[in-house]
Structure 1
Amino acid sequence: MSAPALVGKVTDATATMTEILTDLQSVTETVGRTDLSRRLAAAQRRIGDDRLRIVVTGESRAGLSSIVNALVAADVALVGQHTPQPAVIEHGDRVTRTPARRDGLVSVTAPAELLAAGVVLIDTPGLEGPESRSAAATLDLLPTADAVLFVADGTHELTIGDVRYLKQLQAACSVVACVINKIDANPRWADVQRANRKLLTDAGLDLPLLPVSAETHRAGHRGSDNGKIVESGIPQLTGYIREHLLARAALLARESVINDVRVVSDQVTLALNSEVTRLQDPQRDLVARTHLEQARQAALALRKRTSNWPYALGDGVTELNVAVEHDLRNRLRALIREAEHDVTKGDPSKRWAQFNTWIGDRINAEVTENFLLAQRLSVELAGTVAARFAEDERNSVPRIRISDTRDVLDSYGPLEELESAKGSITQRAVSALRGSYSGVLMIGVATTLAGLALVNPWSIAAGLVLGGHTVWEDLKNVKARRQLEAKIAVGKLMDEVSFQVGKESKQRLREVQRTLRDHFTEVAEQRATAADAAIADAARAVDRHEDDRRDRVSTVAADLERLQRIRMRAAHLAEAAAA
């Protein structure tokens, strides 16, 4: 599910970063480095939206919408109602609610301080289970999210399914916090919190546990009771969002800008210093040209040293495809064995609809896990390939998002209906009569030798016994035939799932390969371009007239001063970020 376009809040830090990038871009364009200008333009787009997107998810009836309403101190979420579409809650002058847009998201605005500070809340439908379609739909929202709040019911401990879902959330979004709601309904909520902490620790999840009561906050807000508001824990949750999440978002934005400023200004300064050296002392032009040629050879040597990155990418993509495909097959094979074992427990026709729903949910869960694995391995591959280059390129790895399973889960249908489930009572009656007739005939003929009639109590009893046996055998055969048909239907469905999901997975992994290939090709060419441009500048400087030479020296000196001021402003940003 694609996220809506966002327009960020302009803060002092954002304005400063924008000014630094704009100023540096103007200097970069004077030396003809369009590749560096494109890099700075991309950095400006990244800081164009500094708001923090937080997805609120969790158990159904745990109070997700109540938590959202408490955070914004307004009734913006529908409490106690089924909301199939997620709602994007942003800052506005008044409370408004717009029907679902083309992307399936409901747009809501509210004049809340937290929203005005740069937070966007996404209220999602409550989960009916960690393997449900609503859980998969929520996971699709995470690639565009900065943080996740998982709301749990404080009246009971987390389940194994909840812990498993939290692992999925953390795999897709690195910042996850667990909110324990309804502590007012459980005097022993602290025991539940300790038990939940042990469950998360045992599962290797170091997540904050924030106890709150949305109902207490609502009562305190209505009665203007500050004591109840503080007791509810909502102010502490709001403080956590402000102090930890918002601050972290700003820090990441600053680090990204500072890294781009450092790399670009270093390359522009090198080119300008080389040109100044040649312009101020023409006799040293040959020496400067030699030095630049050495720099070019060094760049070419670096390119040669890192030229094996395509092989690393190719081998990595091959291993990635094998790992993802093997994981999917293993999951589906295990699910087939589990389904066949379930089928053999009884007559599948009596619970076919329930079995169909169960296997559909299980397939959705396994496919989602497989795509999350593909996402994680793809990110690791990008980092491995980036390690082939210099350290300053580690922060420019392209973002990879292939864990969206929305279209994949709709590419296959349900199980086929059982043909043998259509047997009629008439067929069973005919089988019973056939068995009864045989018993009456056999025993009747035998008893005529003793002087009895063909139809006598003995022959009638034999007919009843053989008729009942025939019906029992018929029921047993029908049950076996239905079990066999059910196993065949499961196999057909799994073949369809394997084909459709495998096809989509391969397509996305090919897209990952193309993205990484194009990105790192540009990185390799950019380094060689820097040396070539410097040598071209040297050749033009030799032919430039003396008067033009002096004017150019003055212009370059001014540009170098501008670069120095830009680096100083970036350094102040770095100090502020460190503080």
Structure 2
Amino acid sequence: MASPWLDVLDDTIRACAAHERQDLVDRLRVRRAQLVEPRVRVLVFGEPSQGKSQLVNGLLNAPVCAVGDDLTTTAPVVIRHASEPVATLVTGGDDEARAIEGPGHRPVPIESAAARANADETVVRAEVGLPRELLAKGLTLIDTPPVGAPTARHTRNALAALQQADAALLVSDATKELSSSELDLLTRVCALCPTVVVVLTKIDMVPGWRRVAERNQAHLARGGLPVTVLPVSASLRLAAARAGDTALNEESGFGALVQYLHRDLIGHADLLRRRSVAALTRLTADQLTAPLRERLAAAKETDTDELTARWRAAGRKLEELQRESQRWQTLLSDEVADLVADLDFDLRDRTRRILREVDEYFEVADPAKDWDEFAEWMYENLRAVAETNSNWLLDRFEWIARKIARQVAPRGSGSLRERWLESTQLDDHVGELRRPAIERFGVGQKLFVGMRGSYSGLLMFGLATTLAGMSLINPISIGAGAAFGAKSVFEERGNRLKRRQSAARTAAHRYVDDFFLIYGKESKDTVRMIHRDLRDRCTAVAQELRVEITESAKRIKEVIDTETAQRTARVRELSKSIDELTSLRRRAQSLTAAGTVRGLTA
């Protein structure tokens, strides 16, 4: 039956694979292989020149790690139990995942393993086997490159090794209190490896190391780091080992450190694994959850504001179009009514001016002589009136069409003039001006009128001259008769001219009235025809705009609905993934619910 922590780790690996994080899958598989082994991996780390390598040598009572003021560990040294001393250099390139496990083994003398590893940049790690009781129960010590070393490769290798450790020893010498960088490093380490102890080295060189230890413990408490501080002296440990001095060995502090490694670590191996898996799973879950939360926030904040604004704008435009429909129809009716009134006034005014000219013309002109010329003049003037009035009608309608276009944008209104002119003949409104009946004044009529006038004069003056003794017919009466006859002829000719002029004026007036009636009726019919045409065209354009806006709004709404559905699906899927990772994190947290180990942080 698999252990609960192993199930959690397997589920974590599957979650990484599901989220396509192959780098995490590879790293967790390496860690899984390590955890199923009956070993406890303890990582020794710290900043440069803190005595890490000397601490490892003191624990093992063997010079397995290179020490010296001018020496810096550049590759991890992994020390395991072996029946005979053995050392191997592992090469395989500069890779974080290979900082602990990797191919390429080259045996070397144990005395020079650490030195050669530090000298060769292709070496990933050095593996050392020693027949030590401390290592016999499964303890594995790993000396790492110093954190914050001059090269980034050293720091990267040290931090990569932390993810593969069951416990960690932070080495800090007693010459100073824990620095802010060391406290920050501890915070990072506790997230990667929950079992940490601070080993205070070089206490033999600092008489007041106890005050340093107390202050370090206070710093850790203020930082929320429940980490134990163990003071040791590697120099005293090695000296005690050489002299076989138990009291000196106890003074070195290594007895408490060895007891911690045996009792608290190896004695609680399963708890260490559970804690390690819990921390690793929490860290992995957080790594997987962070981008998911960002994607979830982005999905929730998917910008549909522009589409929604366009959709609402389309709705407002439809409402506005509906209101404008009533407005432009009222406007069109009012403009057409004004146009009819103006056209009627213009037609009356122009025809009256023509009639006034006709009256003035026939004050002097004789219709008998000038009628043909007058008829031509009348025809041309009435035709000009019809053309002017028609053009004005069309100009006003084009102006009305442009005015209405601001609200409904009618298309094709520019063709009104051509369409109406093609279907209208102006000659139809100007008919033939017929000559009025003209009374002729011929020679016989003149003689008759002259004789009638001369008789009156002859008789009147003849009677008057008889009183003077003259005869009735005498030269005076004859002259008077001739004068009166001529006068009668002239008067009758004038009267007949006036009657002809009056008849001509009456015919012209009747002709103009007929023109006004016929053209006025045709003009009103044209106004109604163009009114209906423009109204129908504007209505059709407004309907096209309504259909176009409705279809556009429908398409926008479909896009919004589709994007909303897709966003909802993405949010649901991301939320489900986050919930699964949260549940996995809670399961990992439950692994640390029972059991305590000194130096362990939950």
When the two structures are superposed, what TM-score results if normalisation uses the length of structure 1?
A: 0.41
Larger Rg: 2
When the two structures are superposed, what TM-score results if normalisation uses the length of structure 2?
A: 0.39
